[in-house]
Structure 1
Amino acid sequence: MTRFDGSVDFSTLQDEGDLAPVRSGHRIVANSRSVIQQYWAMAFRWRKPLLATVIGFILAGIIVTFLMTPQYTASSLIEIAREGNRIAPVQGVEREATDQDLEFYQTQYGLLQSNELAESVVDELKLADNAAFFDMFGVRPQGRNADGVLDPAKREARRKQAGEALLKRISINPVRLSRLVNVSFTSPDRVLSAKIVNAWVKRFIRTTLERRYEATSYARSFLESRLGQLRTRVEESERQLVDFASRERLINIPAADGAKGAGGGERSILAENLAALNAELTQAEADRIRQGSRLDSARNGAVPEALQNTAIAGLRQRRAELAAEYQKMMVQFEPQYPAAQALKSQIDKLDESISREQSRVSESIRNNYRDSSVREAELGRNVDRLKNELLDQRRRTIQYNIYQREADTNRQLYDALLQRYKEIGVASGVGVNNISVVDEADVPTRPSSPRLLLNLILSIIAGLGAGALLVFILEQTADAFDDPAQVGEELHIPLLGVTPKVPENATNEAILDRKSSLTEAYLSVETNLRFSTNHGLPRSLSVTSSRPAEGKSTTALAVATLLARAGKRVLLVDGDMRKPSLHVRLGLVNTAGLSDYLVGARPLGELLHKVDRFGLTAMPSGPQPPNAAELLVSDRFGEVVAELCEQFDHVVIDSPPIMGLADALLIGSRVEGVLFAIQAHGISRRMATVALQRLRNAHVRVFGGVLVRFETKRSHLGYGYDYGYGYGREGDLAEDAKA
């Protein structure tokens, strides 16, 4: 798990599967760090060319900055609304944002950089006839003669030239997340910059208004023509409607309470009459049914009118009184009694009167029933007639309705266009432009360029880029050993040690000083040599290099000295019979040496010299023979090496260089192996590879390589090859050498 500080708690990881991501992450970090170290080492190794390149670019930037003509930038801030504020419509003051805003603003930015706008500014400021304007921007105007006068006939071409010059220097910068746009212009003339920006903005606003007015004028003209056409169509359709109604005698009246008839908003007289007669017919049918019911009642003797008739009621009351009186009389008298007969006669007359009145009421009911039936029949005939007439009228009204709908449609179109025409007229009269100036351009007081600090930063960046490219090229073309790791990568031999660079005249003192960095470095070489054979330190070895003066003699002397300090009997032989140097460093005379023994001139004992200063025995090379290779190829050289190995614990031979000579190959074949000295920062890797290949072809064993004269300042590699142990000996030795 991961702790809060970002470290990893490995105690919670149970198996290798849990540890795999962590190890992978560590490898990635290590690889990244290794790559960074390699790049840093590369930059440090070539720091002088890199610094020289950066400094050169900085100086060039400073010089160019002071040689540049000051440029002045004037800026104006404008606001571009999505659409002009609406005053006349009732939809609101400002229009809501839509997804087309981006397209709209990009269009506006494009219009701000149009050729037409630039040329209109040229015309407004009369720049096409201003020769100083063209000279200011380094443009050769069209039509200029030898005297510098501008030809009026070429004014249109100069107008385009001036517009192109303005467009190259105008800058349109929208302010992010706003409707503001910054319009700026840069020129050597501060006053001209302000004039051009202000003219540019005002001309853009004027052009926008003109474009809007032209669009409104076109719309008004189009609507006027359409209104004229629709007006004519409305008149024709209404005239056609009226003519058809007159010809077909279709008389309509306005519909009551908004009711719609066949004619749309009107109803015909026939329909009105039919409706009225139909209502009367319904009423007549009800009256006839009511009269029929009364008639049936009268036939059954139950006439309501008779019961309600006052005369009949009076007669019946009188009869009832007489009948009651008659019944009383019948109790006492006989029907023939005169008084009784008189009463009977009166009752009979009353019955006749009642019967007469009832007959009159029944006749009245029959008359009413007959009248209602006749009226119902008459109304029914009239309704049928009106129905037939209305059906016929409706058949003729189909075409009338077609004309009516055409007239209504034309009227609606005409009204809609007329309303739109009025809205456009109002909007064009009270609309507000959607572009406004927030800040006008002022005359700049300080130049906008050149800017020394910015140019220095750009120069440094460019210098670093060029320096990085130069370092890459130098690294690819460099053929020296600047990295100790290159010894194993390029030569495929073990690296036994790396020795620091010491002044040439102070190497002996550094070797004799047990605390010097050189001694410490060769002590590492000696330690690694102990593992080069199965019996430890080799009994015999030679030290060689690819070319002369590469540090092999110093290496041979240092290795022999360190072996002697270990209590070993060590013999140091100068095997370079062509250009010997050890006798000088050891303070010996080279009157007799190895060459004398090989030719049999002197015995071996006379050629060995004890060097107490270094604690070893030395054999000089002796006089230079005519052909050293012939001496080395003889059996006598192998015999002397074997004899010396019996007398001494270790025999170290300073061999000649490999390239161009066979001496080093012959010596190497007679010893156990060769120690290969490689000069850091000097020897070509290709030459060292060829030299080693010669040793391998001769079947000479190579114990390893020693990278000599290594400078940590020239190769900051992070490998720890820094020999500053704090003893202060190298500084003293260098000062003594200089003295």
Structure 2
Amino acid sequence: DAFIAQQMDRMVEATRYATQFLAKQLEEARGKLGESETQLSNFLNANGIIFVTADRNGNPQDIITQQLSIMSEAFLRARSDRMAKESLLTQASVQDAFTLPAVLQSPLIAQLKTDGAAQEGEYRRLSQTFKPDYPKMLALKEKIEENRRQLRTETDRTLASLKVDFEASVRAEKSLEASLTRQSTLARGLAENMAQYNLLRREVDTSRDLYSSLLGRLRETQVSAALLTSNISVVDPAEIPAGPSRPRKGLNLLIACVAGLAGGIGLAFLFEYLDTNIKDTKEVESVLRVPALGVVPSRAAFERMLARRKALEAGPGASTPFALVSHSELPSVFAEAFRNLRTSILYSTPERPPKTLMMTSLQPEDGKTSLVTNLAITLSQLGGSPVLLVDADMRRPMVHRVLSVEQTPGLSTYLTGQADLDQVIVPSGIPNLFVIPAGRIPVNPAELLASARLREAIETLGQRFAYIVFDTGPMFGVSDAMILAGQLEGTVLVLRHGRASRDAAQRAIRSLIAVRARLLGVILNDVDLQANSYGYYDSYYLRPDDSRLAERV
């Protein structure tokens, strides 16, 4: 009840304020309207502007403009009449007068023509019976001559009438033209004042509309004040609730947990679907349908191992390149990974191990050179006949840098005929391992690899070395690897973990099969063993000093 009373008081106060405000505004609008009408009336009287009728849009029209319109129409009619009569006179001067419309339309001329035709017909009929000097023939001929004189006289009178009408129309046109010129002068003078008139007229209309609107609003407010009632009523007295109705925390928490779980699972499946990179050896065998020869730990793991050893020994440690880890870090998990790789390659063919093989990758910087160097080292560790490492990547050679040998003379030197085969074979500094560097970078490496001189060299070297391992360029972008793959007994494809996509790997395998290469399998390089379920490598092959470091940590 108190709220209803308070609401009624507010409504009464608001209505009273609105009435006072509208009354004040209405008074100001009335005064402004009167002032505007007075200014407009004074302006019309001062400039002699008189409005007589309204135009088509309902706006008042002044007498000067109305007279100008009437004179314009009259002038146009007079000009049309003068031009029509002038046309008739022109026709009379250039053609037979009897063909003019005015002559043809004259009843008297038509009657004379009819009478003349009848008389001439009677004369021709009588001429068949009587001679021309017969009295009746002479009388009839006199009538025909009289008829012709009357016809010419009437035709001349019609032509003179046309000329008189033409001259009258010319005078009427000139008179109307002079009047129109004077009226146009008055209208131009009026047009200079119409801009001010329109401004004053719009101000009067605006003031009148505002006054009418305020008056109607004031009357509506007065009627509303007389019928003032409250639209609020008490339906049911309010009761204090025992607890909050919203939010329902338990239900909201349950919905949030279910939605979060479903969203997480959905995102996981989405990311798995969008990620097309090769992740592990199972994918290699299931998607690519080729053997997985092994995995090689990442270079970052190798650097972490060196850092742990340096921290344990508390002194400056020797820097070991990753490409020589099979020689310098024999007990490490990295060397063991390459020994596993060696075993997989040697037993990849049922009849005998491949004697000549090559490694290639999808694209540069996949770690191919480090892998082929370590593989050659592990093969040389078997003892027996020596092993030869050939740097056939003559576009971006790297083997000579890894093994610290001279780049030239090398393979390109031999293939171009500038050196013998024995001159390009150099010791690598590692027992039982020899190397042929790439030599000077040629302009046509693909043609050199496809030459018969290389096939002869492979055959000759196969008699001297137990294994010959080739480092070639990547598959995509150049054709060197595909040219060499068809000449060797085995090809190994290197895929960098997290970088090689399934589509690219499948395209590379199809390309190798197309050149009849013997694909031994795939090596997955740069694998983080701890993050990809290969932790048994890292735990089983720890060095003793690494175990002590782990215990200290």
TM-score (norm 2): 0.50
Give the CA deviation at 1:490.
Answer: 1.6
Give the CA deviation at 1:467.
Answer: 2.8
Alignment counterpart, residue 339 of structure 2, candidates 507, 513, 523: 523
Give the CA deviation at 1:729.
Answer: 8.4
State the alpha-carbon separation in 2 of the partners of residues 488 and 730 from structure 1: 37
Alignment counterpart, residue 381 of structure 2, candidates 558, 565, 569: 565
Give the CA deviation at 1:619.
Answer: 1.0
Which aligned pairs between 1:167-182 and structure 2 lie closer than 5 A?
none
Q: Which runs of 5+ in 2 are unaligned?
A: 9-226, 304-319, 548-553
Check conservation: 1:510, 1:730, Cα contact below 8 A.
no
Corresponding residue for residue 354 of structure 2 = 538
Give the CA deviation at 1:484.
Answer: 1.5
Which aligned pairs between 1:180-219 and structure 2 lie closer than 5 A?
196-198=238-240
State the alpha-carbon separation in 2 of the partners of residues 678 and 685 from structure 1: 10
Corresponding residue for residue 391 of structure 2 = 574
Which aligned pairs between 1:185-584 and structure 2 lie closer than 5 A?
196-198=238-240, 441-442=241-242, 462-503=259-300, 506-508=321-323, 510-512=325-327, 513-568=329-384, 569-584=386-401
Give the CA deviation at 1:507.
Answer: 1.3
Check conservation: 1:540, 1:650, Cα contact below 8 A.
yes
Corresponding residue for residue 642 of structure 1 = 459
Question: Does the residue aligned with 1:542 lie in a helix, a strand or coil?
Answer: strand
2:413 equivalent to 1:616 = no
State the alpha-carbon separation in 2 of the partners of residues 532 and 464 from structure 1: 45
- CA gap of 1:576–1:153, structure 2 versus 1, over 3 A, is farther
- AA partner of residue 539 (structure 2): G
- AA partner of residue 472 (structure 2): S
Give the CA deviation at 1:731.
Answer: 6.9
State the alpha-carbon separation in 1 of the partners of residues 476 and 229 from structure 2: 82
Check conservation: 1:129, 1:155, Cα contact below 8 A.
no
State the alpha-carbon separation in 2 of the partners of residues 687 and 665 from structure 1: 15
Alignment counterpart, residue 666 of structure 1, candidates 480, 483, 492: 483
Give the CA deviation at 1:617.
Answer: 0.7
- CA gap of 1:605–1:462, structure 2 versus 1, over 3 A, is same
Alignment counterpart, residue 725 of structure 1, candidates 513, 537, 540: 540
- AA partner of residue 571 (structure 1): L
- CA gap of 1:463–1:129, structure 2 versus 1, over 3 A, is farther
State the alpha-carbon separation in 1 of the partners of residues 295 and 262 from structure 2: 33
- CA gap of 1:609–1:637, structure 2 versus 1, over 3 A, is same
Corresponding residue for residue 259 of structure 1 = none
State the alpha-carbon separation in 2 of the partners of residues 525 and 457 from structure 1: 52
Give the CA deviation at 1:459.
Answer: 5.5
State the alpha-carbon separation in 2 of the partners of residues 159 and 486 from structure 1: 74
1:647-672 Cα deviation digits (max 9, x unpaired): 10100001111112110011111110
Higher relative contact order (CA 8 A, sep 6+): 1
- CA gap of 1:672–1:443, structure 2 versus 1, over 3 A, is closer
Check conservation: 1:498, 1:721, Cα contact below 8 A.
no
Question: Does the residue aligned with 1:670 lie in a helix, a strand or coil?
Answer: coil
TM-score (norm 1): 0.38
Check conservation: 2:331, 2:541, Cα contact below 8 A.
no
Corresponding residue for residue 17 of structure 2 = none
Larger radius of gyration: 1
2:445 equivalent to 1:628 = yes
Corresponding residue for residue 508 of structure 2 = 691
2:419 equivalent to 1:602 = yes
Give the CA deviation at 1:124.
Answer: 12
- CA gap of 1:478–1:623, structure 2 versus 1, over 3 A, is same
State the alpha-carbon separation in 2 of the partners of residues 713 and 455 from structure 1: 39
Give the CA deviation at 1:591.
Answer: 2.4
1:401-424 Cα deviation digits (max 9, x unpaired): xxxxxxxxxxxxxxxxxxxxxxxx
1:475-498 Cα deviation digits (max 9, x unpaired): 101111112111011211111111
Alignment counterpart, residue 403 of structure 2, candidates 586, 601, 607: 586
Check conservation: 1:516, 1:729, Cα contact below 8 A.
no
Check conservation: 2:324, 2:373, Cα contact below 8 A.
no
- CA gap of 1:598–1:153, structure 2 versus 1, over 3 A, is farther
Check conservation: 2:280, 2:524, Cα contact below 8 A.
no
- What is the percentage of aligned positions where both structures have the same residue? 29
1:267-325 Cα deviation digits (max 9, x unpaired): xxxxxxxxxxxxxxxxxxxxxxxxxxxxxxxxxxxxxxxxxxxxxxxxxxxxxxxxxxx
Question: Does the residue aligned with 1:537 lie in a helix, a strand or coil?
Answer: coil
Give the CA deviation at 1:466.
Answer: 2.6
- CA gap of 1:443–1:501, structure 2 versus 1, over 3 A, is closer
1:427-447 Cα deviation digits (max 9, x unpaired): xxxxxxxxxxxxxx4477xx9
State the alpha-carbon separation in 2 of the partners of residues 695 and 631 from structure 1: 19
Give the CA deviation at 1:197.
Answer: 4.8
Corresponding residue for residue 192 of structure 1 = none
Corresponding residue for residue 496 of structure 2 = 679
Give the CA deviation at 1:153.
Answer: 7.8
Give the CA deviation at 1:546.
Answer: 1.1
- AA partner of residue 367 (structure 2): G
